[in-house]
Amino acid sequence: MGWQVQGNYMESCNCEAICPCIVLGPPTHGDCRVLVAWQIEKGRDGEVALDGLNVALLIHAPGKMHETKWKAAAYVDSRASPAQRAALLKIFGGQAGGHPAALAAHIGELVGVKDAAITFRKQGKNTVVQIPAAAEAEMQPLVGPDGGQVVVSNHLLAIGPGFPAVVGRSTRSRVADHGWSWTLDGGQCMTSPFRYEG
């Protein structure tokens, strides 16, 4: 029956906005430290419904993201049933194919997988992601000269390919888990819809 997930994603990293990694450039500070979170609005893996669940990933890339192998840590919504958890790990771990497989191919070491009460919410125009005892980030969109949002499209390294991404900066972004202690305040953020299927 295949699988399909769709919703919204947000990422926060240590690069300056707009992050050069999305056009295959070198990270602003030599390496890239990233929090990525996905909010699934509608999803299914065969008979297993995935609506309303969240997934997150911490990534450390020691150089250009498309040329180096990443260390990563995964977080799965603690509300998920065993069947839902297995489906989420299969899809977002890349074993089910599709775009997640292209992203997972960059991971050289998975340092851990944890269940967590991941929250992903809008707060006014901002987007907030929280992983208790691990990470938190709040994205504030950049405002263009016309008062509208700053967006990028058709970028080369995309979490939500096919969708324009809103660019912003973090008002606060911290990571403290797996021996990582990152302060990403003021760094690049992006958000967009996503749709993956296989």
For residue range 143-175, list pLDDT tens digits in order: 999 999 999 999 999 999 999 999 999 999 999
The answer to whether 160 and 190 have CB atoms below 8 angstroms apart is no
Q: For residue 92, give the amino acid letter.
A: F
Give the model's pLDDT for residue 1. Answer: 74
Q: What is the pTM of this model?
A: 0.97
Give the model's pLDDT for residue 122. Answer: 97
- How far is residue 144's CA from residue 142's CA, in Å, rounded to a whole number? 7
The answer to whether 190 and 170 have CB atoms below 8 angstroms apart is no
- How far is residue 104's CA from residue 41's CA, in Å, rounded to a whole number? 22
Tell me the three state secondary structure of residue 92: helix
- 80-92 mean pLDDT: 98
> For the segment 98-148, what is each residue's pLDDT rounded down to a tens digit?
999 999 999 999 999 999 999 999 999 999 999 999 999 999 999 999 999
The DSSP secondary-structure symbol of 22 reads G
Give the model's pLDDT for residue 91. Answer: 98
> For the segment 16-51, what is each residue's pLDDT rounded down to a tens digit?
999 999 999 999 999 999 999 999 999 999 999 999
- 177-197 mean pLDDT: 98
Give the model's pLDDT for residue 41. Answer: 98
Task: Supply 135's token pair.
Answer: 């990470």
Give the model's pLDDT for residue 111. Answer: 98
Give the model's pLDDT for residue 14. Answer: 98
The answer to whether 157 and 24 have CB atoms below 8 angstroms apart is yes
What confidence tier does 185 reach under pLDDT thresholds 50, 70, 90? very high
